Amino acid sequence: MDIQARFRLERGDFTLDVELTLPGSGISALFGHSGSGKTTCLRAMAGLERASHAYFAIGHRVWQDEASGLFVPPHQRPLGFVFQEPSLFPHLTVRGNMAFGQKRAACGDRRFSLPTIAELLGIAALLDRSPGELSGGERQRVAIARALLASPQILLMDEPLAALDLKRKLEILPYLERLHEEFSLPIIYVSHSPDEVARLANHLVLLDQGRLVASGPLREVLSRIDLPAIFADDAGVVIETRIAAQEADGLSRLEFAGGQIYVSRRDEPLGARVRCRIHARNVSLALVPQLHTSILNSVDACVVDLAPTDTPGHVLVRLDVAGEALLARITRRSADRLRIRPGLAVKAQIKAVALLA
């Protein structure tokens, strides 16, 4: 059940012109610089922005087809929308706000119960409190619960963590991950944070100045070297690993298809899956094993391709590590000195690993 979206919408000197096919489950992230059209695209999906040339369907359910004059108004679309600000009703308790969302769905269409959603989002103990007694992260979790209790066929989230400080973001991220794990509900997630996208998304859509730049599975899009301007200094890949051992010196050994890496000790049990992000700026290359170095993580790799970056004098190198993609950002001088070229076998030294889950 794919999601089909085509929108052409003009607002002053800005034009949104995109055509997308998104998976019908998991989290699809819309990512791009400010003004790229992420929120406009999301609002068009909700029907809050009506494009003159548009088509939007979830599977066989068509909500907009301007060619045939079909437009289902926003209030008749079975969707949930979570904004940057929770906008809870101040005169209602947490329970009352959640119940308001539940009333949007007919009794026979309700997929979730209030106690189940409250437990899932960690707000069961807050049901009798007023919104004014909650932290920013708690208010946003209540807003998500209210949207879910409307039993939507799709959940749209417009930078739901943008108004939160780092502590509150870290508090709420695990709950967003649980939404993906617990439900087959498709989620369209708008963000300008590469780390949020890398942690949460399964599918990534890149927008720039209202145009589609790339769309595909997260790991495939992140490993492309023709898109450095979109990510700037945040170019890098995501790898899926598992905890293979807990070392005596306070490190955990993670294994993946391309070998093993060491990170600060994790609390998860052996065998647990861990998603990691490796920035291109944290990968260096060598032609032979380096013995006198403080870098613990080194894997065998083969150069696939090179491309210039938006930083003068630097290149982005795409590597193959036993089928896993890895990126390295090095200087042009180093690339010339080492004669980096497609097919060359190298040692990829990973200076830092960002743990995402």
Say if residue 146 is in the same domain as residue 69: yes
Say if residue 293 is in the same domain as residue 229: no
The confidence score (pLDDT) of residue 180 equals 74
Domains identified in the chain, total number: 2
Domain enclosing residue 194, as ranges: 3-234
The confidence score (pLDDT) of residue 157 equals 95
Say if residue 120 is in the same domain as residue 171: yes
The confidence score (pLDDT) of residue 357 equals 60
Q: What is the pTM of this model?
A: 0.90
Instruction: Quote the tokens at residue 315.
Output: 């290149």
Query: What is the chain's mean pLDDT, rounded?
Result: 91
Domain end, chosen from 234, 260, 275, is at: 234
Say if residue 46 is in the same domain as residue 186: yes
What parts of the chain have a pLDDT lower than 50? none
Say if residue 57 is in the same domain as residue 202: yes
The confidence score (pLDDT) of residue 108 equals 61
Half-sphere exposure of 352 (CA within 13 A, CB side): 7
- Cα gap 273→263, rounded to integer Å: 14
How many residues are given for the chain?
357
Tell which residue, 225, 227, 241, has the closest CA to residue 283: 225
The confidence score (pLDDT) of residue 182 equals 79
Report the CATH number at residue 161.
Answer: 3.40.50.300
CB atoms within 10 A of CB 84: 16
Tell which residue, 237, 190, 252, has the closest CA to residue 36: 190
